[in-house]
Amino acid sequence: MLEAMLQDWVAVVFWGLVSTAVMATVLEGAQVMGFSRLSFPFLFGTYVTGSRRRAMILGYVLYLMGGWLFASLYALLLDALWRVWWVGLLAGLGHGIFLVVVFFPLLPYVHPRIANEYDGPSALRRLEPPGAFGLNYGRATPVSTVLAQGLYGLIFAFGYSHVG
């Protein structure tokens, strides 16, 4: 019993890292190729610091920790349902749709450095708000976000389902 729990925990940590790395690569790749201006690590980092340089470093650390947190939640979901790849894919796509539809519009109200659509930028709130579906960050932002989250869920579920 203890050995199986340890094996599951190691799988969550490992596949959480792998799926987070792939998701970050896809999202940052979309940014580099000009499809989107969204950088989740930068958004997370600017939540805790106003320094752009520190924001990227801290943002990647926070992004990785968030990836592990979500890996734990996905593992609970997979254990409660079935350990099959398509459950992870559906969870990831659902997560991505939630980000685009709910999280992006709420972000200016919880993030200390993002301007909102009504008041505009200020000395402290200098980052552009994502807008509806994140479209202020590029037309491909909603698609790249949902696809990257779906890929995260698919990779995590595929790897996690082959443990034990």
| Percentage, residues of the chain above pLDDT 70 | 93
Separation of alpha carbons 161 and 87, rounded Å: 10
Spatial distance between the Cα atoms of 142 and 145, rounded to a whole number of angstroms: 5
How far apart, in whole angstroms, are the C-alpha atoms of residue 78 and residue 155? 13
Query: What pLDDT is stored for residue 124 in this prediction?
Result: 65
pTM: 0.90
**pLDDT tens-place string over residues 118-147:** 776 666 667 888 999 999 999 999 999 999
Q: Which domain holds residue 110?
A: 2-161
| Mean model confidence pLDDT for the chain | 90
Number of domains in the chain: 1
DSSP per residue, 96-112: HHHIIIIIHHHHHHH-T
Q: Is the pLDDT of residue 1 over 80?
A: no
Q: What is the pLDDT of residues 69-94, one digit of tens each?
A: 999 999 999 999 888 899 999 999 99
Confidence band for 17, pLDDT divided at 50, 70 and 90: very high
Compare 98 and 125 and report the one with higher pLDDT.
98
